[in-house]
Structure 1
Amino acid sequence: MNAPKISLDQWRAFVAVVDAGGYAQAAEGLHKTQSSITYAVQKLESLLGVSVFEIQGRRAQLTPTGQVLLRRARALLDEAQRIERAAVQLAQGWEAELKLAVEVVFPTWLLLDCLDQFARAHPQTRIELFETVLGGTDEAILERRVDLAIASRIPPGFMHDPLMKLRFVCAAAPHHPLHRLGRVLTREDLRAHRQLVLRDSGSQRNRDVGWLGADQRWTVTAKATSIRAAVMGLGFAWFAENTVREELASGALKPLPLIEGGERWAELFLILTHQDASGPGAQKLAEILKTAARADQA
């Protein structure tokens, strides 16, 4: 592969002339002499065989070629800075990638807010998210396929922090036949209608999410599918209240008036799978998640 003709310093000088509005101002901003800045830009033009500036009146203006090269030069300098920041973080032991296993009942909006907050501070760290259910979360933790996990139970031998308590409500669309009964409901009423259930994502797939009791059942893999099916009136389900808050607020879903047991509670835990050996990125993301969960539960 041929070496580049133009150095980063020459591209930086070119961009600085444009941003500062002249050679003298660029020289001052870069703490260089004006003659060195002028030479760098002239050398760039000579090596590439192009003109990046043209004189219009008493001012130098970018040529069409100069405008294109300016955009590319900015991108090149930005990428160089990102590489340098990544190198510094890696030298400090910062992970290049973080893997998470998160139970699907954890509020998606809250998770994405946390990931966004982390990414804005550490954009060089890649994130791989596994949205898991029950056994799938257990396996990811036990096999240490992830750096941290949000789980509904703690596998033996792992330290954990309580993260949040979730309220589950039994809900269906307002036009569902159960709501049309117009009275409080018993378990026998539920038994006669279709229940929507999330499938265990573990390799054995021997557990289902939800309080089972209906003779009719649709078992689905995705949380979004179960919510959509319920909104369409295709069944009822036990939902973590936070995951369907928009549907409840808009009236697309409505809690069923059960005579007893109309709400259930579960707790989620935060687990660093490598425990004391966890890297700074995993520890930082864990702190962001704990802070956000506390604020949401306040």
Structure 2
Amino acid sequence: MYRPKSTLEQWRILQAVIDCGGYAQAASALNKSQSSLNHAVSKLQAMLDVQLLEVVGRKAVLTDAGEVLLRRSRDLTQTVASLEQLAVNINQDWEPEITLAVDLAFPRDILYKALVPFLPNSRASRLRIIDTVLTGTSDAIVDKTADLVISLNVPKGFLGEPLTNIAFVLVCSPKHELASTPHAISPDTLSQHLQLVIADTSPTPEETQGWLKSENRWTLSQFDSAIDLLLQNIGFCWLPVHKVEDLLTTKRLQRLTIEGSEFKQSSSFLVVTQPESKGPGVRLLEKLILQQRQIDLPCYENL
């Protein structure tokens, strides 16, 4: 039988050195001495006969081989963490805490209708709800930092149940210069004005979604902050229809039309990040959220 040369602890230490930005920071995060971390990584390299790190200036950086092995080691440690969590779920009646990540654009009234019946049946399990945006929502799925994620995008390798469609419209104040344009606005004209954008919650955002052509941008963390600025005749912004419907009806905000674009629409999905080890609390919350979905599903009964 094969006996591993390395240990999970050694791989976790290597991960910490990279994630924390060095041995000193990793030692503080792990509450270990810096010398013990140096020894663990050196021993790991010696046993594998592969150089994982090299010192550049005062910082230890990964070699090409180190990058490959570190990436695979994350899969290994995540699998062990999932296995241990599964054992906990099997050994207890209910999860002590459930984390739900929700994309900021998702209509909260749908979510709240699921949370009302969840409360009396949650057996005092703590529920942590995290607001996420764009890449930050995908990170919560890929990194499995949440048990359930409501996302506008399902990353490769995961499955999601459709919940509802979310329409986005371009809006500004009726007093804004753009509001007086009698025809569809060209993207070039739009790019000359201040755009309000909602910040991506990922530490490494990927600006691959949305119209971001305007160089003059203010970045905000919430849709409500953007709406407040719009009402002060500051900028334009893409916003979910459900957030501004009343303001459009009362003409406190005005919808704009861009050449070739009336509106944007995205689908939202519920993703269980670790379906093989979900506990009873996650299963219940998943069921209650899916009961509130507002989308017509195809019927395959007669196929």
Asked whether the two chains share a fold, i.e. TM above 0.5, the reply is: yes
CA contact (8 A) 2:223 2:239 kept: no
Supply the distance in 2 between the matched residues of 1:219 and 1:125 (Cα, whole angstroms): 35
CA contact (8 A) 1:96 1:126 kept: yes
Supply the distance in 2 between the matched residues of 1:118 and 1:248 (Cα, whole angstroms): 34
Partner AA of 1:159 in structure 2 = L
Give unpaired runs (5+ residues) of structure 2.
1-89, 298-303
Q: TM-score, normalised by structure 2?
A: 0.62
Q: Is the aligned partner of 1:142 residue 2:162?
A: no
Q: Match for residue 84 of structure 2?
A: none
Q: Is the aligned partner of 1:98 residue 2:98?
A: yes
Relative to structure 1, is the Cα distance of residues 130 and 182 closer, same or farther in structure 2, using a 3 angstrom cutoff?
Answer: same
Deviation readout 1:18-76 (Å, 9 max, x if unpaired): xxxxxxxxxxxxxxxxxxxxxxxxxxxxxxxxxxxxxxxxxxxxxxxxxxxxxxxxxxx
CA contact (8 A) 1:199 1:208 kept: no
Percentage identity across paired residues of the two chains: 29
Q: CA deviation at 1:196?
A: 0.8
Supply the distance in 2 between the matched residues of 1:263 and 1:159 (Cα, whole angstroms): 27
CA contact (8 A) 2:94 2:123 kept: no
Supply the distance in 2 between the matched residues of 1:255 and 1:193 (Cα, whole angstroms): 15
Supply the distance in 2 between the matched residues of 1:153 and 1:99 (Cα, whole angstroms): 18
Q: CA deviation at 1:116?
A: 2.7
Q: Match for residue 216 of structure 1?
A: 216
Supply the distance in 2 between the matched residues of 1:296 and 1:114 (Cα, whole angstroms): 18
Q: CA deviation at 1:123?
A: 6.2
Supply the distance in 2 between the matched residues of 1:164 and 1:99 (Cα, whole angstroms): 21
CA contact (8 A) 2:173 2:253 kept: yes
Q: CA deviation at 1:146?
A: 0.9
Supply the distance in 2 between the matched residues of 1:205 and 1:263 (Cα, whole angstroms): 24
Relative to structure 1, is the Cα distance of residues 144 and 259 closer, same or farther in structure 2, using a 3 angstrom cutoff?
Answer: closer
Q: CA deviation at 1:273?
A: 1.0
CA contact (8 A) 1:198 1:208 kept: no
Q: CA deviation at 1:170?
A: 0.8
Aligned-residue CA RMSD in angstroms?
2.6
Supply the distance in 2 between the matched residues of 1:175 and 1:116 (Cα, whole angstroms): 41
Supply the distance in 1 between the matched residues of 2:266 and 2:116 (Cα, whole angstroms): 26
Q: Match for residue 154 of structure 2?
A: 154
Supply the distance in 2 between the matched residues of 1:284 and 1:244 (Cα, whole angstroms): 32
Q: CA deviation at 1:210?
A: 2.8
Supply the distance in 2 between the matched residues of 1:279 and 1:266 (Cα, whole angstroms): 30
3-state DSSP class of the match of 2:170?
strand
CA contact (8 A) 1:197 1:208 kept: no
Q: Is the aligned partner of 1:196 residue 2:182?
A: no
Q: CA deviation at 1:209?
A: 5.7
Q: Match for residue 247 of structure 1?
A: 247
Q: CA deviation at 1:208?
A: 7.1
| 1:84-95 superposed matches below 5 A | 93-95=93-95
Q: Match for residue 107 of structure 2?
A: 107
Q: Match for residue 267 of structure 2?
A: 267
CA contact (8 A) 2:199 2:219 kept: yes
Partner AA of 2:290 in structure 1 = K
Deviation readout 1:209-262 (Å, 9 max, x if unpaired): 631222321112222212222222211111121232332333222211334302
Supply the distance in 1 between the matched residues of 2:287 and 2:242 (Cα, whole angstroms): 21
Partner AA of 1:264 in structure 2 = K
Supply the distance in 2 between the matched residues of 1:278 and 1:230 (Cα, whole angstroms): 42
Q: TM-score, normalised by structure 1?
A: 0.63
Q: CA deviation at 1:175?
A: 1.6
CA contact (8 A) 1:94 1:280 kept: yes
**Structure of greater Rg:** 1
CA contact (8 A) 2:103 2:152 kept: yes
Count of aligned positions: 209
CA contact (8 A) 1:133 1:209 kept: no
Give unpaired runs (5+ residues) of structure 1.
1-89
Supply the distance in 2 between the matched residues of 1:252 and 1:153 (Cα, whole angstroms): 31
CA contact (8 A) 2:105 2:240 kept: yes
